[in-house]
Every structure is written in C-alpha cells, then in structure tokens.
Amino acid sequence: MPSLEALISKAKDLARAGDAAGAMTAANELARQHPDEAGVFSLRAYLYERSHDYPKAIAEASRAVAIDPLEPAFVFNRGRYYLCAGKYRSAADDFTRGLSLCDRLNDDYFRGAFHFLRAEAFVQLGRKNEALADLSHVRDDMKLWTIRLRTKSDLLDECARLS
C-alpha cells in the first residue's frame, strides 16, 4: 500500500497534468481517510489555490495549521494565499508567525522568504519602513512569486514610491 506522502504526490501530479477534478477527488478521499493529517489539508489548499479559490485555500491551510501549528510550510502557504486574496494584514501576521517559528525551531529554511513576502504585504499596506526593514534581511538576487513574480529590486522601487 502506498504511503500517505506518495498518495499526496500522486494527487499533485494529477493536478499538474490538468486533471483538477481527479486530484480533488483523490484529496477528498484522503481527507476522509486521514482527518488528522495536516498534509492532506495542505494538499487541498494547494488544489484550491491552483484554481484561484483563495477563500477555500485559506480555510484548508488553516486546518493544516491547526493540526500542525509548528510546521513553517503550512504557515508560509496560508500567508501566500492571504496575500493573493488581498488580505495583506492577515498575510503579514502569518509571515510574522513564520519568522517566530524559524526562531523557535532554529530553522532558517523559510526565513528569507518570510521576510520577502512580509515586505510585499507591508508594501501593499503602505508600511514603507517595515517593508524596508524586512528587505534588509533579503538577498539582493531574491525573486519570488508574491502577488506576481517580484524581485527585491521591485519591492524597493515600490517602497521608494510610498510616502
């Protein structure tokens, strides 16, 4: 019998191959069989995000965070969904939470991305100083999808336009 991780991967492969309905059917079955597995709800959030249904993506990501509140990836993804939904304050809160998790877990894997994405949220909120503070922690060559593909330079330019 395949592992849960293999089944999640298979559902993602279906989505990437254009079978969104098949992927969601598989994800729903996994949720029925594994209601306490955060990765299953993270999968469902990913599938909703692919169809730009950010409210449902946020709801599913929130379930993943509730099940496993110490996993930075779940907080990272929910923050991205908030950002895409235009809920910048909630996005900034999640990225702040993610940075706290990095400190708590002594794990810097997401640290630069959390700063970058929080800077985007702060730019969208018109909070120039906080955005600049975050960008000071980001590599000059960093590029990441926020509300669109952005570079550190793009965000710095946006900050320069804020009063």
pLDDT band at 102 (very low <50, low <70, confident <90, very high): very high
Q: Of 98, 33, 30, 72, nearest to 44 (Cα)?
A: 30
DSSP assignment letter at 18: T
**Does residue 92 share a domain with residue 34?**
no
Examine residue 30 and state whether it is found in any structural domain, yes or no.
yes
Whether the pLDDT of residue 1 is over 90: the answer is no
Residue 134 tokens read as 């975050």
Which is it for the CA torsion 53, 55, 134, 114, positive or negative?
Answer: negative
Examine residue 75 and state whether it is found in any structural domain, yes or no.
no
Q: Out of 39, 69, 99, pick the residue that ends a domain.
A: 69
Examine residue 126 and state whether it is found in any structural domain, yes or no.
yes
Beta bridge pairs of residue 145: 149
Domains contained in the chain, number: 2
| CA 84 to chain CA mean position, Å | 9
Residue 76 tokens read as 């990272």
Examine residue 80 and state whether it is found in any structural domain, yes or no.
no
**Does residue 155 share a domain with residue 91?**
yes
Percent of the chain with pLDDT over 90: 97
Q: Would strands 143-145 and 149-151 be described as parallel, antiparallel, or unpaired? A: antiparallel
Q: Which domain holds residue 5?
A: 1-69
CATH of the domain at 64: 1.25.40.10
**Does residue 96 share a domain with residue 151?**
yes
**Does residue 60 share a domain with residue 115?**
no
pLDDT tens sequence across 120-129: 999 999 999 9
**Does residue 62 share a domain with residue 4?**
yes
Contact call for residues 31 and 44 (beta carbons, < 8 A): yes
